[in-house]
Structure 1
C-alpha cells in the first residue's frame, strides 16, 4: 500500500511539473507574440521561415546596392548635365567663330580664349570626384585623374580605365553606376600610343584655326582655318550627342531603380506577412491555449494539494 501511494504521489508531481511547463510555454508565446520560438515548435514552418528570411536578406542586400548605385548615377548625371551645358556653349562659340568674313583677328583671339576656357571647364568636370575621392569617370581605375592635358600639344589624354563600373541591382539585373570617360568621350590612339579624347581633339583643331591670322591671309590659310573650324564643329556636335546619350541612359536607369525599389518594398511587405503567418501567434487561439493550460495547471495543483493533505501522506 505504501509503494502504491508513493507511485501515485510521484505521478501527481510529474503531472504538475508537466502542467507547469505547458502553462509557462503558453505564457511565453503570449508574451513574445511568437507561435514558433524554436524549430521543434513547428519544424515545417521553421524551415519555410528560414527560406523566407534568406529571400528577404537578398532583397535587402540588393536594395542597399541600389542605394549606392543610385548615388553614383545621380552624381554622374548631374556632371553630364553640366558637360552638356558647357558643350552647348562651345558649339555656339565655334559657330560664331566660323564667320570668317565678319571677324577681326582680335575677335577671333577673344573667341579662342573663350573656347579654351570652356575646354578647361570640360576637363575639370571630367576629373570630378565622389565623396570618397574617387574619379567618377575613371572606370575601375579611379584613383588618379582620368583626363590629363599634354602641356606641349594641348591634347587631352585619357588615363582612366576602359571598363565602366557596374553593379548587380537585382537578382537578374546589372546596371552601370559610373560610365568610364572613354565611353563618354570616344577615344583614339595617337602616334605615341596614347589615348586621346576625340572631342577635345576637335576643340584643339578649332583653337589652332582661330590662331591663323585672317588679315592679309592667303587663300590657303583661309581654307586651312575654315577646315579647322568645320572639324571642330563636327567634333563638338558628335561629342554633345555622345554626352546626351550617356545622360539619357543614366536617366532611364534611375527610373528603373525607382521601379525596382518599389517592387523591393512590396516584396518586403510580402515576406514580413509570410513570416508573421509562419511564426507569429494567432492571438485568439494563443489566449485560449493560455487560459486552458492555466486551468489545467490550477487543477493539477489542486489535485496535488488534496493528495498531500490526505492522512496517507501525513508525517
Structure 2
C-alpha cells in the first residue's frame, strides 16, 4: 500500500517543526541572557517551589537585618544616655561628700544646694531625652508623652512600664528601650533590705549606721524603733527596741555603748554619738524610691540650718541616707546599662549569623536557578545548526514539483 502525503501536509509539518526548533532556541537564548535555568515554574516545578521558599526566607532574613540596624540604633542612644546619667549621679555623689565638710557653713551648703538643683535639671533632661524624631526613650509605650515632670517632692513619671520590642531574628524578639520607672524609680532605699534613719526632732548627737543583714532566715520585714532614755547622775543611757508591726518590745533598757552593735531579727547596726533622752531611730524595710525624690530631699537637707550637735547629727544622718540612696541609684543604672550592652552585643552576633545565612540562601538559590553556561552554549549551537538544517531541507522539499520534470 502506498502512503500519499499531500503538499499541504508537507508544508504544515515543516512549518511546525521549524517553529518548534525556533521556540527551543529562543528559550535557550533567553536562559543565556538571564543566566537563569528556570524561566517559568513549568521548567522545574519542584525546583521552582524550593527556590520560592528560599527567596521568601532570604527576604525575611533581609528584613530581620533591617530590624537589627534599627534596634542597634535605638539601643546605642539608650546606652549613650545612660552613660550621661551615670556621670550626673557620680557628680551628685561628689557634692554629697563635699557637703559633709565640717568646716562648711550654712551658706556654703546652700550654695551646694543651688548647684545640686542644676544637676537635677540635667538629670531630668537626660530622663526626658528623645531620639531626634520626637520619640521619648524612657516613656515605655507612650512614646509621645514626656516621661518626667518635676514636682515639689521630686518628679512624677507619666510613662508606663512597657519596653518596645523588635523581631531581630526568626526566633528572637528583643527589647530596644527601657522604661523610665525601671531606670530612675526602681532604687531601693537603705542597704537594699532595710533602711535606718534618725527621727526628725532628735536633740542628741546620735548617728546611725546603714547596718547589714546577719541572718536572712530571721528577717521579718517588720518596722522597728529604737528609743533612748537618759537617767541618773552621772547620766546612764539605755535603749529599747520595739517591733512596731507587732507592738512587742524585743530588747528593753539595754545599756548603750557608742559604736556597739545593736542586733535583732537577723539585722545589725550601730549608733555613734550621744543620743539625748527621748531620741529615737527607726528601721524599716527598704522601699523603691525615685532618684529625683532622693535629690529633692538632699536639697532640703542642705538648705536647713545645721547648728549645734543636734543639727550636725541630723545633717550627717541625712547625708549618709542620701549617699546610700544615690549609690543604689547608680548601681541600678549600671545594671540597666549592662542589660542594654548585652543586647547590643547580641545584635552584633545576630548580624554575623544573618550574613552567613544570607550567603547560604544565595548559594542554594544559585544551585537551583543559575545556568550551566558551557552546557547552554553547546545546546544553543546545536539548536542553531538543527534549525538551519531544517530550514534548508524544508526549502528543498517545498521546491519539489512534478512540473519540473515535464518537458
TM-score after normalising by structure 2: 0.71
| Pairing 1:149-168 to 2, within 5 Å after superposition | 149-150=150-151, 153-168=152-167
Structure 1: state its 5+ residue gaps.
189-195
Q: CA deviation at 1:8?
A: 2.6
Question: Paired residue for 1:52?
Answer: 54
Q: Secondary structure at the match of 2:135?
A: coil
SS of match in other structure, 1:59: helix
SS of equivalent residue, structure 1 residue 222 = helix
Q: Find the aligned partners of 1:31 and 1:313 in 2 and give their Cα distance.
A: 47
Following the alignment from structure 2 to structure 1, what is the Cα–Cα distance between the partners of residues 379 and 46? 21
How far apart, CA to CA, are the structure 1 residues paired with 2:337 and 2:369?
A: 47
* 1:15 paired residue among 4, 14, 17: 17
Matched position secondary structure for 2:19? helix
Residue equivalent to 1:30: 32
Provide the C-alpha distance between the structure 1 equivalents of 2:60 and 2:374, rounded to a whole number of angstroms: 33
The answer to whether the aligner puts 1:302 opposite 2:392 as a matched pair is yes
The yes-or-no answer on 1:270 pairing with 2:360 is yes
Instruction: Give the match for residue 194 of structure 2.
Output: none
What is residue 149 of structure 2 aligned with on the other side? 148
Extract structure 1 runs of 4+ deviating beyond 4 A.
none
Check the 8 A contact 1:26/1:286 in 2, yes or no. yes
2:128 is aligned to 127
Query: How big is the shift at 1:197?
Result: 5.5
Q: Are the counterparts in 1 of residues 71 and 176 from structure 2 also a CA contact under 8 Å? A: yes
Distance 1:171 1:282 in 2: 33
SS of 1:266's partner is helix
Q: Identify the structure with the greater strand proportion.
A: 2
The offset of 1:28, in angstroms, is 0.8
State the Cα distance separating 1:313 from its structure 2 match: 9.2
Displacement of 1:114 in angstroms is 1.6
Where does 1:249-260 land on structure 2 (aligned, <5 Å)?
249-260=339-350
SS at match of 2:176: strand
Q: Is the 8 A contact 2:161 2:179 kept in 1?
A: yes
Q: Which residue of the partner structure matches residue 228 of structure 1?
A: 318
How many residues end up aligned between the 2 structures? 302
Q: Which is richer in helix?
A: 1
SS, match of residue 304 in structure 2:
coil
Whole-angstrom CA distance in 2 between matches of 1:247 and 1:312: 99
TM-score by length of 1: 0.91
Deviation track 1:154-192 (CA, whole Å, cap 9, x = no partner) reads: 42111111112122211111222111111112259xxxx
- Higher RCO, 1 vs 2 (CA within 8 Å, ≥6 residues apart): 1
Return the offset for 1:74. 0.6
Tell me which residue corresponds to 1:176: 175
Alignment of 1:230-249 (within 5 A): 230-249=320-339
Distance change >3 Å, CA 61–CA 125, structure 1 → 2: same
Asked if the contact 2:186–2:332 (Cα under 8 Å) also holds between the matched residues in 1, the reply is: no
2:266 matched residue in structure 1: none
1:192 corresponds in structure 2 to none
Gaps of 5+ in 2: 188-287
Distance 1:311 1:87 in 2: 107
Q: Structure 1: how far apart are the matches of 2:358 and 2:24?
A: 34
Residue-by-residue CA offset, 1:24-77 (whole Å, 9 max, x unaligned): 111111111111011001111101001101111110111111111111101111
The 3 A distance-change label for structure 1 pair 312 and 243 is: farther
Q: Which residue of 2 aligns with 1:102?
A: 103
Decide which structure has the larger Cα Rg and report it.
Answer: 2
Match of 1:191 in 2: none
How far the C-alpha of 1:212 sits from its partner, in A, is 1.4
Aligned pair partner of 1:63 in 59, 62, 65? 65
